A and B are shown apart, each in its own frame.
Chain A
Amino acid sequence: MSAVSAFLLRRRGRGWHWTDVVTWIWLISGVFLMFGPAVWLVFSSFKTPAALAEFPPSFLPYVTEQAVVPGYDKPLPLYNVAMPDGSTRVLAEVRRIGIIGQMVDPKQPGEIVKANIKDRTPVRQVEFARGNYTEPFQRFDFFLFLRNSVFVTVVATAITLLVNSMAAFALSKYQFPGRTAVMLMILATLMVPLSVIVVPLYSVIGTLNLFDSLWGVILPTVATPTGVFLLRQYMLTIPDELLDAARMDKASEWQIYWRIILPLSAPALAVLAIFSVVWRWNDFLWPLIVLSRKELYTLQVGLNVYAGELNVQWHYILAMTVVSMIPVVLIFVFLQRFITTGIAGSGLK
C-alpha cells in the first residue's frame, strides 16, 4: 500500500498548491474513468449468465455453489440459512414458492425445511466461467471471424508497407515530371474520409467482382496517403550519397530500394506497421458494407451482428469483445512510447 501511495504521490516540487489538488483529482478519476470500463468488461466476461443478470452486480465473478442431493435429478443451489433458533445451516433449495423456499439438508435429504427467502444467502465462491471463452469457438463462427480478421490485418499491412514504401522511394529520391502533382494529389485526398466515397467505392468493388471477398476489404485500404507521406518524409533524410555509392558498385535501382532504403527506413516502417495493424484490426464500416456472408465476417462485424442478434447472450459477447481487444492491448503495452511519440510527432491517426 505504501508503495502504491508513494508511487502516486511522488512529486518533484515542494508544498501543496491548489493546482496539485486539481491534478491529482483529475489523474485519479482519469484512471477510474479510462481504465475502469475496460477492467469491468474483463471481469464481467468471466461471469455466468446468472451472475451477469444479477443486480446489484458484483465486481468479481461469483458462482453459487451447488450440491448433488440424492433423490433430485439436478444439482441444487446451496444457501446459508439462519434458523429460528439462531443457528446457521447450509441447505439446498428444492423450489421456491412465493417468499418461502423449500430447502433440504444435503445430509438428510428426506426432510423438507421451509425458510423465508429473507433469511438465506447463497453460498458463493469466486469462479471464472471459462466457458464464455471456449464455447463461442465451438458454437459460433468465432474462429472464422478471428481468422478473417487476422488475414485482413496481416495481408493489408504487408501490402501497405510494400506499396507505400515503393511510392515514397520514388517520390523522395527521383526527379521526374509530375512529381509535385502526384504529391499534391496524395495530400489532397488525405482528408477524404471513407464515408464520402462509400457508395461509388461499393460499385467499383462490384465491377471488380470483389463483393463478399476479403480482398474487397483489403485493397481499398492499402494505398493510404498517410503512409506515403510519413515514409517519404523519413526517406528524405537518407543521404543521396549512399545511393550514388551503391550505383557506382553496379547495384540496380531495385536493389537500392530493398537493400538500402528499406533497412534504413525501419523506424518509419515500424510506425506505419503499428498503425496499419491497429487500423485494419479495428475497421468497421467498410467490412460491414462489403461482407454479407457470415463465413467472411471480420471480428468487428461479427461482434456487432452478434450483439444485435444475441442481446440476451452478453456472456459470449463480452468474452468475444475481450478477445478482439487482445492484439491492440498487446501492441499498446509493448509499444506505448513508440506509438505516442509517433502520433505527437506526425499528428496522424
Chain B
Amino acid sequence: MTAKTVSSEPPVKTGLRQALLAPVRLVMGLVDIPMRGWQKLTGLNGMAGVFLAPNMLIFTVFVLLPLVINFIYSTTSGSAIFLQNRTYVGADQYRILFDCGSYLDPSTCAADTFWAAVRNTAVFVVFQVTVMLIAALATALILNRELSNRGFWRAVFFFPVLLSPVVVGLIWKWILQREGLLNYALSPFGFEPFSWLSDRFWAFFFAVFVSVWAHMGFYALILLAGLQAIPRDLYEAAAMDSARPIRIFRRITLPLLMPNLIVVLVLALIRAVQIFDEVFVLTGGGPGTSTMYITQYIYETGFASSLRNPGLASAASILMGIVLVILTLVQLGVSNRNEKKGARH
C-alpha cells in the first residue's frame, strides 16, 4: 500500500448531512416568502414579534394562564374539571386546609392527609437536604483532588442524574424487596430477610437515600465547578505554611465556596419540597401515608382518588407555590448580596 492519498474533496459524511438538511432548507426557504412580505410591512424591529410569538403563545397558554386559573380554581368546589361547571365557594378550600383542632397533631385536621403530607415533606426536606449537602460536598472535594482519570470518577457519581425517576424507583424497589440484593448482602452477618419498604422508618430512610443517590451528582458537579475556580496559589501559600488540611478547608475552601454552597442549598431545598416521582414509584407513599409528600397529595386529590377535589388540590398547590417563591426570593437575595460582596473585594 502506498501512503494515504491526500484529497481536497470534502468527506462523504457531508453528503449525508446535505441530504438530511435538504428538506429543512426547503421548508425554511418557503417560510421565507411570507416572512419577507411581513418584513416589508413592519420593518426590521417589527420582526421581533414574529420571532417571539410562537414561544410566547405556548408559554402563555400552558404556563401563565394555568398560574392565573389556579387561583380561580382554588376558590371553587366539586369534582368537575371545567371552570363553568364548578361552584364558587370563596376561601372555603383554604378554610378546610387550615381547619385543625391542633396544628401539632395532623389527625385533628379536617384535611388530615394534607397535614400528614406537609409534616412528612418538612421532615423529608430537613434530612434529605442535610444528607445531600454533606454527600455532594464530600464528593466534590474528593473529585477536586489531583486524581488521574478524573473524568471517569466524575461520570461514576454523575451517572444516576440522567436516569428517569421511574427507573431509579424500580431499581431500588428491586434491590430492597424481601428476596433482594440487600437482604442477601446482609445475610452473612446473621440478619433475617426483611421487607425494608413496609417498615415506616426504613421506608423513610430509603426515600431519603434513593433521592440523594439519584441527584447528588448534579449538586456535586456545581460544587466542583466552584472548587475549581478557587485560585491555586492560595493553597500553595497554605502549603508553604504547612497548614493542616482541616484548617485549609475551614479557612480557604469553605469561605470561597460559600456562594456555590448557597446555590446548591437553595436548589436542593426547592427540589426536595417538590419530591414525587422516585418515592412514588418506590413506596407508593406507604406504608400507610408515611412517605406521602405534598406533590403526591396534590396529584391524588386532583386526579387519582375517588374523592376527586381539584379545588382542594389547587389550594394546596398554591400554598406549596408560596413556599417555593419564598425559597427562590431567599436565593436571589443571597446571591445578590454575595455578588455585591465579591465586587467590593
Q: What chain A residues lie within 8 Å of B138 (beta carbons)?
A: 26
Task: Give the interface segment out of B103-111, B161-169, B230-238, B250-258.
Answer: B161-169
When each residue 91-133 of chain A gets 1 if its CB lies under 8 Å from chain B and 0 otherwise, what string results? 0000000000000000000000000000000000000000000
Q: Is B310 an interface residue (CB 8 A)?
A: yes
Contacting pair A23 B314 (CB below 8 A): no
Q: A37-B172, A175-B45, A191-B270 are in contact. Are A10 and B148 (CB under 8 A)?
A: yes
A165, B59: Cα distance in complex, Å: 14
Q: Is B36 an interface residue (CB 8 A)?
A: yes
Q: Which 9 A-B pairs have the closest CB atoms?
A: A282-B164, A167-B55, A174-B48, A200-B69, A170-B51, A344-B225, A254-B35, A200-B66, A223-B58
Please name 25 pairs of A and B residues whose Cβ atoms are closer than 8 Å in the assembled complex, sorted by A.
A11-B148, A19-B145, A26-B142, A30-B157, A40-B171, A40-B181, A41-B174, A56-B187, A167-B54, A189-B64, A195-B295, A197-B66, A197-B67, A200-B67, A202-B81, A204-B65, A207-B82, A220-B62, A228-B55, A252-B32, A254-B31, A282-B166, A329-B162, A332-B162, A345-B225
Q: Is B299 an interface residue (CB 8 A)?
A: yes
When each residue 223-242 of chain A gets 1 if its CB lies under 8 Å from chain B and 0 otherwise, what string results? 10100100000000000000
Q: Which of A57, A199, A222, A337 contacts B151 (CB 8 A)?
A: A337
A290 to chain B, nearest CB (A): 10
Q: What chain B residues lie within 8 Å of A325 (beta carbons)?
A: 163-164, 167
Contacting pair A343 B184 (CB below 8 A): no
Q: Which of A202, A254, A289 has most B Cβ within 10 Å? A: A254
Q: A10-B148, A41-B171, A55-B193 are in contact. Are A34 and B156 (CB under 8 A)?
A: yes
B140 to chain A, nearest CB (A): 10
Closest Cβ neighbor of B25 among chain A residues: A258
Task: Give the interface segment out of A63-71, A136-144, A299-307.
Answer: A299-307
When each residue 106-146 of chain B gets 1 if its CB lies under 8 Å from chain A and 0 otherwise, what string results? 00000000000000000000000000000000110010011
Contacting pair B54 A203 (CB below 8 A): no
Q: A12-B148, A26-B139, A318-B174 are in contact. Are A284 and B166 (CB under 8 A)?
A: yes
Closest Cβ neighbor of B277 among chain A residues: A284
Interface residues of A (CB under 8 A from B): 7, 10-13, 17, 19, 22-23, 26-27, 30-31, 33-35, 37-38, 40-41, 44, 53-57, 162-164, 166-167, 169-171, 174-176, 179, 182, 185-186, 189, 191-193, 195-204, 206-208, 219-220, 222-223, 225, 228, 247, 252-255, 257-258, 278, 281-282, 284-285, 288-289, 300, 303-304, 307-308, 314, 317-318, 321, 324-325, 328-329, 331-332, 336-337, 339-340, 343-345, 347, 349
Interface residues of B (CB under 8 A from A): 28, 31-32, 35-36, 39, 44-45, 47-52, 54-56, 58-59, 61-70, 73, 81-83, 138-139, 142, 145-149, 151, 153-167, 169-175, 179-181, 183-184, 187, 193, 213, 217-218, 221-222, 224-225, 245, 263, 267, 270, 274, 276-277, 281, 284, 294-295, 298-299, 302-303, 310, 313-314, 317-318, 320-321, 324-325, 328
B174 to chain A, nearest CB (A): 7
Q: Which of B164, B183, B314, B324 has most A Cβ within 10 Å? A: B164
Q: What chain B residues lie within 8 Å of A207 (beta carbons)?
A: 82
Contacting pair A336 B151 (CB below 8 A): yes
Q: A33-B213, A324-B164 are in contact. Are A199 and B70 (CB under 8 A)?
A: yes
A30, B163: Cα distance in complex, Å: 17
Contacting pair A34 B159 (CB below 8 A): yes
Contacting pair A307 B170 (CB below 8 A): yes
Q: Which of B169, B184, B299 contacts A289 (CB 8 A)?
A: B299
Q: Which of B164, B184, B325 contacts A284 (CB 8 A)?
A: B164
B189 to chain A, nearest CB (A): 13
Q: What chain B residues lie within 8 Å of A337 (beta carbons)?
A: 151
Q: What chain A residues lie within 8 Å of B180 (beta carbons)?
A: 57
Q: A7-B149, A193-B274, A223-B58 are in contact. Are A344 and B299 (CB under 8 A)?
A: no
Contacting pair B170 A317 (CB below 8 A): yes
Known: A40-B174, A196-B70, A198-B317. 14 other contacts (CB 8 A): A10-B149, A35-B156, A38-B171, A40-B181, A167-B51, A202-B302, A202-B303, A223-B55, A253-B44, A282-B163, A300-B165, A321-B171, A332-B159, A343-B218
Closest Cβ neighbor of A325 among chain B residues: B167
Contacting pair B173 A307 (CB below 8 A): yes
Closest Cβ neighbor of A197 among chain B residues: B66
Q: What chain B residues lie within 8 Å of A223 (beta carbons)?
A: 55-56, 58-59, 62-63
Contacting pair B51 A203 (CB below 8 A): no
Q: A304-B281, A345-B225 are in contact. Are A23 and B313 (CB under 8 A)?
A: no
A164, B173: Cα distance in complex, Å: 38
B151 to chain A, nearest CB (A): 7
Contacting pair A27 B298 (CB below 8 A): no
Contacting pair B51 A204 (CB below 8 A): no
Contacting pair A198 B51 (CB below 8 A): no
Q: What chain A residues lie within 8 Å of B31 (beta carbons)?
A: 254
B80 to chain A, nearest CB (A): 9
Contacting pair A222 B153 (CB below 8 A): no
Contacting pair B167 A12 (CB below 8 A): no
A170, B181: Cα distance in complex, Å: 54
A269 to chain B, nearest CB (A): 13
Q: Which of A53, A162, A219, A253 contacts B47 (CB 8 A)?
A: A253
A105, B148: Cα distance in complex, Å: 58
